[in-house]
Amino acid sequence: MSWDILIQDLPKDVTSVSEIPDNFQPAPLGLRNELIERIRSVAPSVDFTDPSWGQLATPEFSIEFNMGREEMCSGIMLHVRGGDGASDFVAGLLHSLDVRAFDCSAGDFFAVPGALESFARWQEYRDRVLKP
The pLDDT assigned to 49 comes to 98
**10: CB partners within 8 A, 6+ apart:** 20, 26, 99, 100, 101, 102, 109
Separation between Cα atoms, residue 27 and residue 24, nearest integer Å: 9
DSSP 105: T
Which helix (H) or strand (E) segment holds residue 73: the answer is strand 72-73
**Cα separation, 8 vs 74, whole angstroms:** 7
Please give the domain boundaries of the chain with CATH numbers for all domains: 3-129 (3.30.310)
| pLDDT computed for residue 120 by the predictor | 72
Q: What is the pLDDT of residue 111?
A: 81
Q: For the chain (length 132 residues), average pLDDT per consecutive 10?
A: 91 88 94 98 97 97 97 97 87 93 88 69 74 71
Task: Give the global pTM.
Answer: 0.85
Q: What pLDDT is recorded for position 89?
A: 94
- State the pLDDT at residue 113: 67
* Residues in the chain, overall count: 132
